[in-house]
Amino acid sequence: MRDEIRQQPAAIERTLKSEWRQAEKLRDYFQRHPVRLIVLAARGTSDNAAQFGRYLLEIATGIPVSLAAPSVFTLYRARLDLKDTAVVAISQSGESTDTNVVLEQAKEAGALTVGITNESESTLARLAAHTLLVRAGKEKSVAATKTYTGQLTCFYLLARAFGAPIELAHLERLPEWCGAALQLEDEICERAERYCFMRHAVCIGRGLNYSNSFEFALKLMETCYVVAERFSSADLMHGPIAMLETAFPAFLFCPPGKTWKSMRETLVKLESLRADTLTITDRSNREAAAEKRAAKMQLTIPADLSNKGPLPEELYTPIPYIIPAQLLAASLAKVKGLNPDQPRTLSKVTQTL
């Protein structure tokens, strides 16, 4: 898992170089065949990537996006009208049974189908009319890391294909920013000792980093056997905050931009409850970096990740921000004497209907 975390800058660079041309072809196609709706189908880590895709696509293109409920297709056999709809299936292996059923039935219902996968010879790649390939190389650890960030990279390309003002020159900074996040590895290894006996936690994000709260929680659950709940800062305030108390671990993704005010208010509230908070941010959030609490309870990526273009300031933070979280999960598993590469009862490919 740790080796694959370190491989992410190179994997993202390969994905961008290999798939940019395909994204441009799709951009031409969608200009001629516009869609009224995008539906995303996935499970597990790929479903977390889809959460990011939903926010990115709606913010950057204005096209409504829905997350598919696979059981509507696989169990209830419902027939949906999907004309003028793009259905995007996301799967690391391309062999997720229910995701592939959604794609197959969507095609029969008149949808344009797109696949995002790490396996070019997979069932998903064969079913989809168009495919964006994650060029991560074989992922051996059951806990997905480089395929998650590869899928997020493909969503930037897909957003470009649907008309978003996303430029290659900006995306090409992602490997560099991921490298900056990896510089925190030694610090994170030291901090992991603090959570050796952690049994429960909350992971909090909002907007474009909401998906990271899901993905970090999943990593804590599957590699460290920690009961981790995931919330937006808004949802936390609508009831679940009642379970937090002194020393309750809370992890927060705190980029600059649109979500910082909400995240800061949440952070102040958690600290008033004396919860054990740890934030992930970068140098562009100068307000967060300037706070006295920063040195003790904050992981700051040593780079300015702010977007200078027309889209939100935090546009490119989700991929670099998940890397410290991945490293913390891997380090905590080691502290607990667990093997994050082979979590109990799990296998690399999960097939459900």
What is the tens place of the pLDDT at every residue in 55-77?
999 999 999 999 999 999 989 99
Residue 270 sits in a domain of what CATH number? Answer: 3.40.50.10490
Picking from 138, 171, 204, the residue at the C-terminal end of a domain is: 171
Q: And the tokens for 238?
A: 């609508």
Q: What is the chain's length?
A: 353
What is the model's pLDDT at position 348?
52
Same domain, yes or no: 33 and 126: yes
What is the model's pLDDT at position 311?
97
b/e burial code for range 149-184 (CB count within 10 A of at least 16 → b): bbbbbbbbbbbbbbebebeeebbeebbebbbbbbeb
Phi-psi region of 60 (alpha: psi -120 to 50; beta: other; left: phi over 0): alpha
What is the model's pLDDT at position 342?
84
Distances (CA, A) of 216 to 52, 205, 318: 13, 10, 12
Q: How far apart are the C-alpha atoms of 88 and 103, rounded to whole Å?
A: 8
Picking from 122, 149, 171, the residue at the C-terminal end of a domain is: 171
Q: And the tokens for 240?
A: 């679940």
Would residue 345 count as lying in a domain? Answer: no
Same domain, yes or no: 164 and 179: no
For the chain, percent of residues with pLDDT exceeding 70: 95
Residue 232 sits in which domain range? 175-335
Would residue 188 count as lying in a domain? Answer: yes
Same domain, yes or no: 192 and 127: no
Q: And the tokens for 203?
A: 């992971």
Same domain, yes or no: 199 and 313: yes
Same domain, yes or no: 154 and 207: no
What is the model's pLDDT at position 295?
45
Would residue 94 count as lying in a domain? Answer: yes
Would residue 29 count as lying in a domain? Answer: yes
Same domain, yes or no: 167 and 239: no
Query: For the chain, what is the largest distance between any 2 Cα atoms, rounded to a whole number of angstroms?
Result: 58
- Please name the residues in contact with 151: beta carbons below 8 A apart, sequence gap of 6 or more: 46, 49, 90, 92, 116, 134
Same domain, yes or no: 253 and 119: no
What is the model's pLDDT at position 237?
86
Same domain, yes or no: 167 and 188: no
Same domain, yes or no: 191 and 278: yes
pLDDT grade, residue 309 (50/70/90)?
A: confident
Alpha-carbon dihedral sign for residues 241, 331, 142, 215? positive
Would residue 300 count as lying in a domain? Answer: yes
Beta pairing class for 130-133 and 37-41: unpaired
- Please name the residues in contact with 175: beta carbons below 8 A apart, sequence gap of 6 or more: 9, 10, 12, 13
- Please name the residues in contact with 15: beta carbons below 8 A apart, sequence gap of 6 or more: 133, 134, 135, 136, 150, 153, 154
Q: Long-range contacts made by residues 23-30, C-beta under 8 angstroms, separation at least 24?
A: 23/132, 23/157, 23/158, 23/160, 23/161, 24/160, 24/161, 26/114, 26/130, 26/158, 26/161, 27/160, 27/161, 27/162, 27/163, 29/130, 29/161, 30/86, 30/161, 30/162, 30/163
Would residue 194 count as lying in a domain? Answer: yes
Same domain, yes or no: 21 and 121: yes
What is the model's pLDDT at position 267?
93
What is the model's pLDDT at position 343?
75
Q: What is the pLDDT of residues 80-131, one digit of tens each?
A: 999 999 999 999 999 999 999 999 999 999 999 999 999 999 999 999 999 9
Q: What is the pLDDT of residues 167-215, one digit of tens each?
A: 999 999 999 999 999 999 999 999 999 999 999 999 999 999 999 999 9
Reported in sequence order, the residue ranges of the chain that DSSP labels E, i.e. its strands, are: 37-41, 65-67, 85-91, 112-117, 130-133, 200-205, 227-232, 249-253, 276-282, 298-301
What mean pLDDT, rounded, does the chain reach?
94
C-alpha atoms less than 13 angstroms from C-alpha of 316 in its C-beta half-sphere = 26
What is the model's pLDDT at position 294?
45
Q: And the tokens for 32?
A: 């001629």
What is the model's pLDDT at position 194?
94
Picking from 171, 192, 226, the residue at the C-terminal end of a domain is: 171
Amino acid letter, 195: Y
Would residue 301 count as lying in a domain? Answer: yes
Same domain, yes or no: 305 and 329: yes
Would residue 67 count as lying in a domain? Answer: yes
Q: Is the predicted pLDDT of residue 346 greater than 90, yes or no?
A: no
Q: Is the predicted pLDDT of residue 292 greater than 60, yes or no?
A: no
Q: What is the DSSP letter of 35?
A: -
Domain count, the chain: 2
Tell me how crowded residue 26 is: count the other CB atoms within 10 A of its CB.
21
Whether 23 contacts 351, CB under 8 Å: no
Q: What is the DSSP letter of 75?
A: T
Whether 112 contacts 119, CB under 8 Å: no
Same domain, yes or no: 98 and 179: no
